[in-house]
Structure 1
Amino acid sequence: MTITHPAVPAPAPQIVEPATYDQLARVTGRHDWWRPIVGTFVLLGLSIVAEMWVFGQFESMAASLDLPKDADGFRILSDLSDTALTLAGIALGIPALALTVWWIQRRTLGSVTSVTGRLRLSWLGRCFALAVLALGLSMVAMGVVGALIEPETTSEETWVGWGTFAVTLVTLLCLVPLQAAAEEFIFRGWLLQATGSFLRNPILIVIPQALLFGAAHGWGTVWGFIDLVVFGVVVGLVTIRTGGLEAAIALHVTNNLTSFIMSSTYVGGLGTDETAADMPWQYVAVDMAVIVLFAVLILQLAKRYKPAVNASARIS
Structure 2
Amino acid sequence: MPGLLPADGAPYPLALRNVETVWWRSVLGAIFGLSLYLLLVTLVSQLVVRVSWTLSHPVDYRTYYAQAQAYERPVGLFASNLGIATLIPISLALVLVIHHARTHWLFSVRPGIRWRFLLVCLGVSAVVFVGIQAVIEAYAPSARVAPQAGFWLFLAVIVLTSPIQAAAEEIFFRGYLMQALGSAVARPWFGVVTSALVFALLHGTQNLALFVNRFAFGLLAGLLVWLVGGLEAGIAAHVLNNLVAFGWAGLTTGIAALRTVQSLSWAQSGIQILAFVVCAALTWGVARLMRLRTRVDLSAPGVTSRIVTGRGVTS
Q: TM-score, normalised by structure 2?
A: 0.83
Give the one of 257, 266, 279 matched to 1:294: 279
The corresponding residue for 1:312 is 297
The corresponding residue for 2:254 is 269
Q: Secondary structure at the match of 2:15?
A: helix
Deviation at 1:132, TM superposition (A): 1.4
Identity value in percent: 24
Work out the CA distance in 1 between the residues paired with 2:146 and 2:258.
18
User: Which aligned pairs between 1:185-204 and structure 2 lie closer than 5 A?
Assistant: 185-204=171-190
Residue correspondences, number: 293
Deviation at 1:297, TM superposition (A): 1.5
**2:218 pairs with 1:254:** no
1:160-208 Cα distance to aligned partner (Å, 9 max, x none): 46xx433322222110000000110111111111221133444443111
User: Which aligned pairs between 1:188-227 and structure 2 lie closer than 5 A?
Assistant: 188-227=174-213
CA contact (8 A) 2:7 2:296 kept: no
**2:127 pairs with 1:137:** no
Deviation at 1:127, TM superposition (A): 0.9
CA contact (8 A) 2:121 2:233 kept: yes
Larger radius of gyration: 1
**Any stretches of 5+ residues in structure 1 without a counterpart?**
1-13
Q: Secondary structure at the match of 1:18?
A: coil
**Any stretches of 5+ residues in structure 2 without a counterpart?**
299-311
Work out the CA distance in 1 between the residues paired with 2:272 and 2:284.
19
Work out the CA distance in 2 between the residues paired with 1:130 and 1:35.
37
Q: Alpha carbons of 1:113 and 1:166: their partners in 2 closer, same or farther (altered >3 Å)?
A: same
**2:35 pairs with 1:42:** no
RMSD of the alignment, in Å?
A: 2.7
Give the one of 44, 51, 61 matched to 1:53: 44
Give the one of 225, 229, 240 matched to 1:243: 229
Q: TM-score, normalised by structure 1?
A: 0.83
The corresponding residue for 2:56 is 65
CA contact (8 A) 1:128 1:254 kept: yes
**2:71 pairs with 1:80:** no
Equivalent position amino acid for 1:237 in 2: L
Work out the CA distance in 1 between the residues paired with 2:226 and 2:14.
9
